[in-house]
Structure 1
């Protein structure tokens, strides 16, 4: 089972590997810089080599880079489009430098362009990327608040179908739940997985952000909870981590990371639930 967490790169990107191993994980996610500002990764080759070497030594992977929160692929604004394109290009280049297989990105908000226009904008930005051969961009599912796109599986399928790039998908369980896809019972999980397969295709699901939700299904509220302690709950989480169609998909946690219940606690919880099957 591949399960890990979103680890800090404070002090050097290579420190994320040791932190992940300490937490008991064997796959993981990072930001290459603060996600709240426009900033370049700026990773030197010595750092990158240490990251690659440590990942190999510990058998950790696959890793995924999460793009900046400022990136908006759906925007109709030329200035923001260019900033988003530049930021994404630097992220996919950094991923190749680090030996990281995936870069994850939200579609963003159409801010008045409409659903169809926003999805076309997103596809246009993605098509303008020069993605290294050893990197795949993952389009992430969204909670769907306001004019944000990606809450409906159809949005993800549309971008994948229309883009000239070889893209895949990352489903966030808390986001999908907030967007109205029930995951709180085994039967609901089965139905949601089947719906994803019908609309997008399980062959395009490369990663799962495994998060419980502090809010009810369909509320469009994006706030994560500890595994089994939110509105998805133990039964739903157990079915997700034991679902036969998700057996080969890596899970990365973005759960609260507190002194009482951190990533290590949540990773252990996932493995306990998987062992219950």
Structure 2
């Protein structure tokens, strides 16, 4: 779910009538706002060394959080950012936290959720320690969380395909970041091999991670009440309904 165009920095204001219809539809159909996680614009780079891009990203983040509030939502997911090879990782992490703190001062209540990355190029957030470093710099840590993407984690070197791999990843996440910061997961298999640093999503059970890891995820007690969001390509005969049915079939009674 996106809250505006992915191709433009400037978007028309959110229509208040449409926002009210959205809130009403969620209530009538039993969609709890805590289970809805809008995704940030791909233009946004809150860690950019380019001042114009950084400033536009700051403004866009404020706009995104404001839209979440208007829609009655409580979480917002974004890719942390990239250094573009022009600044150090630490400087990039500092800029990301700066943008988040600035947005939090101008908005209220909505939690900014950092998505782990695959480590491609100069992106940050591929290692749990980098996510923790951003969180440590956020002034209101009640308003920051993490979304774990399975493809990104695998591509960054966390071996979910191994026996006990999901448990090991969650154990490490808990030790480095803290499970109380986990707000959601993106479920994707991976076209690329372990540690490839490529963001190439594959349908559930049809990539390098394999079905057993997703069986472990849907049966992991620590993930109870954590929204699990599909971002897979989906192919004829194996689109979202079929993949959701498959995931439910893996759940133990």
Q: Same fold by TM-score, threshold 0.5 exceeded?
A: yes
- How many angstroms apart in 1 are the aligned matches of 2:75 and 2:163? 29
Q: Could you state the TM-score of these two structures normalised by the residue count of structure 2?
A: 0.93
Q: Map 1:117-266 onto structure 2 (within 5 A).
A: 117-129=91-103, 130=105, 132-165=107-140, 166-266=143-243
Matched, 1:274 2:251: yes
Shift of 1:231: 0.9
- CA shift, 1:131, in A, is 5.5
Report how far residue 215 of structure 1 moved.
1.0
How many residues are paired up?
A: 247
Q: How far apart are residue 248 of structure 1 and its match?
A: 2.3
- Contact 1:173/1:208, CA 8 A, preserved across alignment: yes
- Check if 1:51 corresponds to 2:22: yes
Structure 2 unmatched ranges of 5 or more: none
Spell out the pairing of 1:6-85 with structure 2 (5 A cutoff): 30-40=1-11, 42-61=13-32, 62-85=35-58
Q: How far apart in 2 are the matches of 1:56 and 1:243?
A: 28
**8 A Cα contact 1:40 1:90, kept in partner:** no
Residue aligning to 1:90: 63
8 Å Cα contact 1:85/1:125 also seen in 2: yes
What is the Cα deviation at residue 134 of structure 1? 3.3
Q: Which runs of 5+ in 1 are unaligned?
A: 1-29
Task: Please give the root-mean-square deviation of Cα atoms over the aligned residues, in Å.
Answer: 1.4
Report the Cα distance in structure 2 between the residues aligned to 1:90 and 1:32, rounded to whole angstroms: 9
Q: Which has the higher contact order (CA 8 A, sep 6+)?
A: 1
